[in-house]
């Protein structure tokens, strides 16, 4: 059912299995995982908490619960679960990236950059880590490095890499921006929008 995309039916099947054996760990985890993927974070959390009780210190449970906590805006708790997962699997680039996302929401930008750098070092194919580093550099005022790093987005798969075909040559970060006219658009994370300087300098609705 899961492979066929019938997630809701799969959840019901796992819940029926749990009615027979409430301590069945795999059914508990899979139910929480599928609920998290559907954006039903509070429901997912109940199953993932139970899974952690039945079988503690599992990386899959911790990172899935961290995503559910992130979805509930519980960023400190998400950070805690990701740190536990990192201790269990320190070479996992995915975990480092999610630590960076939680730190971003907590306005701990330099730490977020460091974790994105680690994620990229562990998995150089993670183009999204390069993009995130560039955006965070822009956010913290390192504009030259930030604009250059953000050009990595053109190496992402569609639709993220889609762009208009314009007659002017693209700036890809390999030459100075001094003296050039730049057109910018807003594509900032929630943490950026909440910063006081952002609110003051972008007061239009």
Using one digit for the tens of pLDDT, what is the confidence trace for 5-45?
677 899 999 999 999 999 999 999 999 999 999 999 999 99
* Same domain membership, residue 53 and residue 108: no
Do 95 and 43 share a structural domain?
no
| pTM for the full predicted model | 0.75
Domain boundary at 89, 111, 132, which? 89
Do 70 and 121 share a domain, yes or no? no
Q: What SS3 string covers 97-163?
A: HHHHHHHHHCCCHHHHHHHHHHHHHHCCCCHHHHHHHHHHHHHCCCHHHHHHHHHHHHHCCCCCCCC
Average pLDDT of 189-197? 41
Q: pLDDT category, 169, cuts 50, 70, 90?
A: low
Write the pLDDT tens digit of every residue in 105-162.
999 999 999 999 999 999 998 888 988 999 999 989 888 888 888 877 777 776 655 5
Q: What CATH number corresponds to the domain at position 203?
A: 1.25.40
Tally the domains of the chain: 2
Asked whether residue 125 falls in the same domain as residue 197, the answer is yes
**Residue 65 domain boundaries:** 1-89
pLDDT reading at 102 higher than 60 = yes
**Of the residues 89, 119, 138, which one is the last residue of a structural domain?**
89
The token pair that represents 135 in the structure block = 């955006």
| Residue 101 sits in the same domain as residue 193 | yes
């Amino acid at each position: 059912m899961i492979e066929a995309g019938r997630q809701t039916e799969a959840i019901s099947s796992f819940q029926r299995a749990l009615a027979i054996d409430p301590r069945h760990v795999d059914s508990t985890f899979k139910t929480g995982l599928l609920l998290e993927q559907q954006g039903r974070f509070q429901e997912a959390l109940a199953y993932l908490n139970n899974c952690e009780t039945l079988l503690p210190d599992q990386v899959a449970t911790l990172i899935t619960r961290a995503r559910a906590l992130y979805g509930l805006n519980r960023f400190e708790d998400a950070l805690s679960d990701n740190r536990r997962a990192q201790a269990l699997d320190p070479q996992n680039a995915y975990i480092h990236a999610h630590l960076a996302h939680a730190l971003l929401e907590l306005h701990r930008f330099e730490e977020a950059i460091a974790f994105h750098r680690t994620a990229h070092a562990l998995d150089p194919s993670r183009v999204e880590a390069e993009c995130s580093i560039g955006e965070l550099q822009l956010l913290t005022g390192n504009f030259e490095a930030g604009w250059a790093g953000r050009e990595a987005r053109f190496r992402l798969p569609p639709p993220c890499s889609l762009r208009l075909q314009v007659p002017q040559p693209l700036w890809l970060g390999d030459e100075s921006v001094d003296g050039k006219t730049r057109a910018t658009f807003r594509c900032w994370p929630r943490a950026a929008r909440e910063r006081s300087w952002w609110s003051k300098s972008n007061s239009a609705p």
